[in-house]
Amino acid sequence: MGVSEILAQLDREIAQLQQARALLSGAGSAKASKSATTASKKVAKKKRNLTPEGRKRIAEAVKRRWAEQKKAAGGK
């Protein structure tokens, strides 16, 4: 890694830190706050919902696995 690459990386990090400081201090422009809200929307994951049929399939698979484990343990 050359000196110019290190300097470029430091410049990028400094720019990110300055942007974060501006957002935290409330001095950020509308553009900065808008980009921050869109970034937080990308990070937030959508909640996944199971259908009743999916829950039933999972429950049946778990019961089968428990039965196999019980059988392998000697029927205790």
User: Quick one: average pLDDT of 61-76?
Assistant: 89
Q: What is the Cα–Cα distance from 64 to 70, expressed in whole angstroms?
A: 10
**Token reading at 12:** 């990028």
Q: What is the pLDDT of residue 36?
A: 53
Instruction: Report how far residue 60's alpha carbon sits from residue 76's, in angstroms, rounded to the nearest whole number.
Output: 21
Give the per-residue pLDDT at 56.
97
Encoded amino acid at 13, one letter: E
Asked if 50 and 40 count as a contact pair (C-beta separation under 8 A), the reply is no
Distance separating alpha carbons of residues 10 and 14, to the nearest angstrom: 6
Q: Is the pLDDT of residue 75 over 70?
A: no
pLDDT tens-digit profile of 2-51? 898 999 999 999 999 999 998 998 865 555 555 555 555 566 778 889 99
pLDDT band at 76 (very low <50, low <70, confident <90, very high): low
pLDDT, position 40: 55
